[in-house]
Structure 1
Amino acid sequence: MKLRFLCFFIGLLAALTGTAQNDTIPNAGDDNLIWDLDITYAANGSKLLEIKVYDNEDSIPVYTKYVTIKDDNDEVAVLDYLRMGAAFGRIAATAANGRLMVSWQTVTEENSKEFVVEGSADGQQWEALGTIQSKSSNGSSAESLEYGLQLKLPVSFAAIGMGGLLLLTVTRSRRTKLLMIAAVVLVVGACRKKDQMATAGTGKTEYVRIAQHEKDGAIGYSKAVKVTYN
């Protein structure tokens, strides 16, 4: 992906004043991307960059990045962050048989360290579900790379309990009932321990996005996709 920027951006960023600034930056390359830059100034002199990349007229960004720069006078550093750490391709999330399967593709990677799969019930509040290291050589790759991660979905303890109650109603033997109750307790306890180790979130995951962590601490996000439940 070609990401070339015009020289006048340096002068534009150098002239920024106030506590917040927003600029829409059309890409000078030929990939039809539009870059939206928000700069928020902190009291300690640092600035928070929020970079969103849009594909043509699409209202949902294909990439979002957050960076904090401590040196308020380093306009060149701002330009250094106007890049996509990872250009995402296909992203898919499917839930079946008690597991959440997430797969994605990166078209290119730059300064990449690792990817964190994040889940959300409403598309607003996100939590980390799992992490996988970048496959790129030294953090950079000009070729597409494939990733995949499987996560265990939370077990429905209510369903286990109801199943046990139904079995108890058709069992007459007192000894058998006691054994069944003990078995249900053991199963629930074992499932709960496993869930604490590898559970895809604390609730039902409806949306998934990929967070790309760069070596310098910057974090970029893919667009969110809806989970397909089979």
Structure 2
Amino acid sequence: MIKKLIGFVIVLAFAFAPSLTSAQSLDPENNSGLTKVNTEQLTYEGESFELVTWEDENGEEIFTIATEVKNKEGVAEYVNQLIASEGEDSTSVNDSTSVNEKADNSIQGVEFPWDRSLSNTDTLGKFDWKPTGVNEQATLTPITSDSIYINAANFNAYYSGAGNADKMVVYYEYAFSGYSLYISHAPSLVLTGNTASWKSEAVTGTWFINTKSHWAESTSRLPTMTGVTLSGGADIYKGGNIYRPYNKAKKVTFPAPNA
């Protein structure tokens, strides 16, 4: 009877024990839906800090800083430039393939490169995004297509107050205008009608986020495309406050982009 009771207790212990699939699951700093993949020690103007790299369920990288520093604005700008320079040397497979295909097809029409700067401050919340792209007006329609191509670009936000934000979320969207449009995009984007959008997982216990917006392209064999509107921002939670730096309706007209 005693042996049976002991065996029953052991079975119960295993049945109700938490499932641990990897050492990563034990990390108390893990954010829900994100996996920590790297921690790098950096220094800017005498201040040392940790830059942490996470990956979401789609393999998208998100960089964060939780170390308290005096010059948050300077550190944020330094890290943004560092990540941007590294990104130029190592573009993802999807983005590099699409960019190369776009360049090969440029002989089919007249190209109009463009860039936009979206930034905003809401008290202690700040965000910055500088997307670029190319409009191409086809010369042989309907044999070839008009197109608007949006490149991948760094996207960042930070909390400028003391300590870390409780939670941060960043997001953006591309709203293509016109009809008879065919829209292709990076796998991480969600397409609803003619609008491609993305929203990050909530990241806790950090004052800085850097990630990237993804490529997307709209094409049409008819002269029906009129442009794309870019929007982006962040939700930054601290105590009972929510800071929402947001920039809406940066329009890029087609074929010639507006200033």
Q: TM-score surpassing 0.5?
A: no
User: What is the TM-score when the length of structure 2 is the normalising length?
Assistant: 0.29
Output the TM-score relative to the length of structure 1.
0.31
